[in-house]
């Protein structure tokens, strides 16, 4: 009887140890950069206080539209692949703030499609100075990443940076910072 109890305890101990172990990422998988929320200062408001003001700003508005390219407009024979177009994701803008991701400072702008903020939202990161833009657009279950600018902005660099920024802004798993009404 004592041996049965001992084996039972050993089995439980083995399960606890197995549950606590983690599996290493495959070789070559990039480590997500660290990210932290910074206090909102004058740099965050350099292009406007809201998403709408930023899109009207002559220094950054055209770059944002270029970032999304054909996806800026709704899907049509000549438009992009998004049903509503990226422009609709900025109709309800969230708070403008500052993030530091991987040692670089970014202006962070969030937004969502009115009435569908739980499933259709965007996070735009503008590197300090406006030379590089990165974005993540959630389209009701599909995630799209975008990159614009110099210094190797590629399809592979945008996801870890934007996702790290999103985790810093929403550490409790909320989809995005609450958009303004």
Tell me the average pLDDT of the chain: 79
For residue 158, give the nearest of 105, 92, 101 by alpha carbon: 101
Question: Could you report the per-residue pLDDT of 16-34, keeping only the tens digit for each?
Answer: 333 334 455 556 666 778 8
**Residues whose CB falls within 8 Å of the CB of residue 47, separated by 6 or more in sequence, listed in order:** 53, 54, 57, 59, 60, 107, 126, 130
Q: Are 156 and 68 in contact (CB under 8 A)?
A: no
Task: Give the pLDDT score at 20.
Answer: 39
Q: What percent of the chain has pLDDT over 90?
A: 43
Q: Please give the Cα distance from 106 to 166 (Å, whole number).
A: 12
Which of 40 and 152 is assigned the larger pLDDT? 40
Q: Please give the Cα distance from 52 to 56 (Å, whole number).
A: 6
Q: Please give the Cα distance from 10 to 47 (Å, whole number).
A: 61
pTM for the model: 0.77
Question: Could you report the per-residue pLDDT of 42-53, keeping only the tens digit for each?
Answer: 999 999 999 999
Task: Give the pLDDT score at 26.
Answer: 58
Asked if pLDDT for residue 72 goes beyond 60, the answer is yes
Q: Are 104 and 133 in contact (CB under 8 A)?
A: no
Question: Could you report the per-residue pLDDT of 107-117, keeping only the tens digit for each?
Answer: 999 999 999 98
Q: Are 131 and 149 in contact (CB under 8 A)?
A: yes
According to DSSP, the residues that pair with 124 across neighbouring strands are: 109, 135
**Residues whose CB falls within 8 Å of the CB of residue 144, separated by 6 or more in sequence, listed in order:** 71, 82, 136, 137
- Domain segments of the chain as ranges: 33-169
The whole-number average pLDDT for the span 66-91 is 83
Q: Please give the Cα distance from 160 to 41 (Å, whole number).
A: 25
CATH 3.40.1420 fits 33-169, yes or no: yes
Q: Is the dihedral of CA 42, 43, 44, 48 positive or negative?
A: positive
């Amino acid at each position: 009887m004592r041996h049965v109890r001992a084996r039972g305890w050993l089995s439980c101990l083995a399960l606890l140890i197995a549950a606590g172990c983690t599996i290493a990422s495959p070789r070559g998988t990039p480590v997500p950069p660290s990210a932290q929320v910074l206090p909102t200062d004058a740099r965050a408001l350099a292009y406007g206080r809201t998403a709408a003001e930023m899109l009207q700003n002559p220094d950054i508005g055209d770059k944002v539209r270029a970032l999304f390219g054909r996806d800026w407009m709704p899907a049509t024979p000549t438009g992009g692949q998004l049903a509503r177009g990226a422009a609709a994701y900025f109709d309800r803008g969230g708070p403008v703030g500052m993030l530091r991701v991987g040692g670089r400072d970014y202006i962070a702008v969030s937004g969502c499609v009115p009435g569908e903020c739980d499933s259709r939202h965007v996070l735009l990161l503008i590197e300090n100075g406006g030379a590089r833009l990165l974005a993540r657009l959630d389209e009701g279950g599909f995630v799209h990443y975008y990159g614009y600018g110099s210094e190797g902005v590629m399809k592979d660099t945008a996801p870890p940076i934007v996702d790290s920024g999103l985790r810093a802004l929403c550490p409790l798993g909320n989809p995005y910072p609450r958009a303004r009404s």
